Amino acid sequence: MDIMDKIYETGIVPVVVIEDAADAIPTAHALLAGGVNFMEITFRTACAAEAIQAVSEAVPEMIVGAGTVLNVRQAEMAVKAGAKFIVSPGFDKDTVIWCQERGIPVCPGCVTPSEIIAAINCGLSVIKFFPANIYGGIKAIKALSGVFGGVKFLPTGGVNAENIGEFASEKCIIAIGGSWVCTKKDIKEHNFDQITSLCHEAVEKIHAARN
Ligand code: 3PG
């Protein structure tokens, strides 16, 4: 099973901002306890690579990737630290090609037809749609999907427990991304039980919406 099939199976990719690398491993365990074996650690903090490395070494059941990757340099740092996939808020062709040459799954953010065409022309079929709530939500994704039938979308940005069902019920959605199951505050305050229970709720809602 390739990583994109596994992402579909799990249904959710939590967007995780780690401010203290020591929080990375307990956060990974909290997500796993909630049925989520994916984790996108964002390159928004100085300790991102350290956090990815910690999870990759200590929690092998967790499929840890890097998010907010803006360029080849960050992709290189992330992969060196053990990232199994790369997510970006936008489309940078150099980063996409760098990942592809190394067999690293890459999911760039594309919200316009031109960006989606650029991704398709690089051979990609899974793209991030961010910020989903601002760029037209599920309505926009469905309209784009009518044209780009082979593309699967990973919506993030304003997706949460309230609206998750309207995204997850559509065939063109590979999985849902978001930070609500694993907020900076909950990580910082070590509310790991809360993270686990939000994950459980999200996974249940996603799988219910798909059926
Ligand atoms: C992302 O990087 O995908 C977003 O920060 C997630 O958006 P959210 O915080 O609204 O879930």
pLDDT in tens, the chain (211 residues): 899 999 999 999 999 999 999 999 999 999 999 999 999 999 999 999 999 999 999 999 999 999 999 999 999 999 999 999 999 999 999 999 999 999 999 999 999 999 999 999 999 999 999 999 999 999 999 999 999 999 999 999 999 999 999 999 999 999 999 999 999 999 999 999 999 999 999 999 999 999 8
Query: What per-residue confidence (pLDDT) applies to 46?
Result: 97
Query: What per-residue confidence (pLDDT) applies to 1?
Result: 82
Which residue, by CA, sits nearest to atom 7 of ligand 1?
157
Query: What per-residue confidence (pLDDT) applies to 16?
Result: 98
Within a domain: residue 157?
no
Q: 186-190 contacts: CB < 8 A, separation 24 or more?
A: 187/16, 187/17, 187/18, 187/19, 187/23, 187/27, 188/19, 188/20, 188/23, 190/23, 190/26
Nearest ligand 1 atom to the CA of 178 is 11
Helix ranges (DSSP H) in the chain: 3-10, 24-33, 48-58, 72-81, 93-101, 113-121, 137-147, 164-168, 184-188, 192-210
Which residue, by CA, sits nearest to atom 4 of ligand 1?
157
Within a domain: residue 86?
yes
- The CATH number of residue 192's host domain is 3.20.20.70
Within a domain: residue 132?
no
Within a domain: residue 115?
no
Tell me the CA–centroid distance for residue 39 and ligand 1, in Å.
13
Within a domain: residue 19?
yes
Ligand 1 pocket by C-beta < 6 Å: which residues? 15, 67-68, 89, 130, 156-158, 177-180
φ, ψ (nearest 5 deg) of residue 13: -120, 100
Within a domain: residue 123?
no
Three-state SS for 156? Answer: coil
Alpha carbons 69 and 73: distance in angstroms, whole number: 9
CB 128 within 8 A of CB 156: yes
Q: How many domains does the chain have?
A: 1
Within a domain: residue 126?
no
Tell me the CA–centroid distance for residue 179 and ligand 1, in Å.
5
Domain that holds residue 13: 3-108+162-210
Tell me the CA–centroid distance for residue 157 and ligand 1, in Å.
4
Q: Which of 15, 107, 163 to mutate to test the pocket of ligand 1 (most atoms within 8 A of CB)?
A: 15
Which residue, by CA, sits nearest to atom 8 of ligand 1?
157
Query: What per-residue confidence (pLDDT) applies to 150?
Result: 96
Provide the annotated active-site residues: 40, 128
Which residue, by CA, sits nearest to atom 5 of ligand 1?
157
Within a domain: residue 153?
no
CA angle 89, 48, 31 (to 5 degrees): 85
Q: Which of 17, 107, 135, 156 to mutate to test the pocket of ligand 1 (most atoms within 8 A of CB)?
A: 156
